[in-house]
Homo-oligomer: A and B are copies of this chain.
């Protein structure tokens, strides 16, 4: 039996102990030394097990005192399940996610008191004051900025600032390779249009961000959904199998860091294997890195693009979720499709407005940016914990989730008989907007999931909303078999 499986078995063992109350919240775990003795394991296996439970949110490391059990209220919640091992790949699906999403969005326009459907933090979490000041001062310096035709190619300073920021995720690039877009969503459109045509099959994570499914549908491309782990992201084995099964896969799209909705983070080894696999198969890899700056880790994780030797990876990102949800500034590095992407971008929307580009550039170049990110990460972590507690406290038995290692939301699995559409409808009646799991796949596989935003300060109003939401879920009844 190989070590990785051993540590997971042990983790399960301790998890049951925690869930059974044998190890209560606040209690100290056996020391690493003790674990080694008890189970006849190596130091590294013992550490691996503890870190695994820590990543899951069940343990907390305290400097010089070892690991402690935490989050008692989550005790009745098992972690979200890994996808079942792949036997057969679902045939590529194309069922029209757009209608579902439009209906949900249209309903969400009604009077909403508590919005738990967002994929950003609350406005106060972003540097509104500095951005406002920069806007005013840039307009003072450039009085004709709003009435001057935009110079071609995107703002030079912004492209340079983003090229510099790309170093944080291990990418070295030049300003003139950076294409500024209207959000990451336009970057994904341009990337897909550059490498594929209507009718082509695109491999995506499952579940995945519904925006991506919409883009594919609007471009007439077909999504092939690949099983994806809430911990380690897309299954490389399943992807490999899919590539053997289908010969018309024209691209792979992944969100390696804080995947939406799972919150998973791909280990570096997986990212490397993915890059090599795609390169070997001559299939372009599109990397959507919208969230990596929101990872808890002190070091922002390394992008897939870092391992790209041949320009086969198209890197897409955005400032929308990490710096300014009111600005529509995305960007991309298009690898060997740069000329094509430049052409599509120009023909599709020309360039972004100069004012927002200049504001973003000035903020990125300042020391405020890093300070803002550090603060944002801490705040989001605290808010995720509050929300996790609330879910654990208010949701019925059988609810499961994994604590993501960063980001703005939690992906919650309700008992299998729940319908996210029914929960959505009932919640909306009470002015609570949630993002139902049915949006995250063309199949019905995630109909008993919800994505819950953690970007808002945990107030009494929010607590009341979570309690109501828990009651709504608890009132869902197992469907009776029809006689």
A contact residues vs B (CB 8 Å cutoff): 98, 102, 105, 108-109, 118, 120, 123-129, 131-132, 135-136, 139, 143-150, 152-153, 182-183, 185-186, 189, 193, 197-198, 211, 214-215, 217-218, 220, 324-328, 342-344, 346-356, 359
Residues of B within 8 A of A128 (CB): 143-144, 146-147
In the bound complex, CA of A152 to CA of B327 (Å)? 14
Can you list 15 A-B contacts (CB < 8 A)?
Answer: A98-B347, A102-B343, A109-B153, A118-B149, A126-B147, A128-B143, A129-B143, A132-B139, A132-B146, A136-B136, A145-B326, A147-B325, A147-B326, A185-B349, A328-B353
In the bound complex, CA of A129 to CA of B142 (Å)? 11
A185-B348, A218-B343, A350-B183 known; A131+B146 contact, CB < 8 A? yes
Assess the B348–A146 pair: CB atoms within 8 A. no
Residues of B within 8 A of A185 (CB): 347-350
Task: Give the residue among A127, A215, A218, A220 with the most B Cβ atoms within 10 A.
Answer: A218
Residues of B within 8 A of A326 (CB): 144-150, 353-355
Assess the A347–B150 pair: CB atoms within 8 A. no
How far, in Å, is A217 (CB) from chain B's closest CB? 7
How far, in Å, is A23 (CB) from chain B's closest CB? 41
How far, in Å, is A134 (CB) from chain B's closest CB? 9
Assess the A105–B152 pair: CB atoms within 8 A. yes
Assess the B144–A123 pair: CB atoms within 8 A. yes
In the bound complex, CA of A105 to CA of B343 (Å)? 12
Task: Give the residue among A123, A146, A150, A217 with the most B Cβ atoms within 10 A.
Answer: A146
Assess the A189–B139 pair: CB atoms within 8 A. no
Residues of B within 8 A of A186 (CB): 348-349
For the A-B complex with A147-B324, A193-B218 known, give 8 more contacts whose Cβ atoms are closer than 8 Å.
Answer: A123-B147, A123-B148, A128-B143, A128-B146, A135-B355, A149-B325, A189-B349, A353-B353
- A197 nearest CB neighbor, chain B only: B198
Assess the A352–B327 pair: CB atoms within 8 A. no
How far, in Å, is A319 (CB) from chain B's closest CB? 11
How far, in Å, is A433 (CB) from chain B's closest CB? 12
Assess the A348–B347 pair: CB atoms within 8 A. no
Task: Give the residue among A149, A150, A328 with the most B Cβ atoms within 10 A.
Answer: A149
A123-B147, A218-B343 known; A327+B353 contact, CB < 8 A? yes
A109-B153, A132-B146 known; A348+B127 contact, CB < 8 A? no
In the bound complex, CA of A355 to CA of B324 (Å)? 12
In the bound complex, CA of A150 to CA of B220 (Å)? 27
- A354 nearest CB neighbor, chain B only: B326
Assess the B150–A182 pair: CB atoms within 8 A. no
How far, in Å, is A435 (CB) from chain B's closest CB? 13
Query: What are the nearest 7 A-B pairs in CB distance?
Result: A126-B147, A123-B144, A182-B349, A218-B347, A146-B326, A123-B148, A149-B325
Assess the B324–A146 pair: CB atoms within 8 A. yes
A143-B132, A325-B150 known; A215+B343 contact, CB < 8 A? no
How far, in Å, is A286 (CB) from chain B's closest CB? 15
Residues of B within 8 A of A136 (CB): 136, 139
Residues of B within 8 A of A325 (CB): 147-150
- A349 nearest CB neighbor, chain B only: B182
In the bound complex, CA of A108 to CA of B151 (Å)? 11
How far, in Å, is A343 (CB) from chain B's closest CB? 5
- A353 nearest CB neighbor, chain B only: B328
Residues of B within 8 A of A328 (CB): 150, 349-353
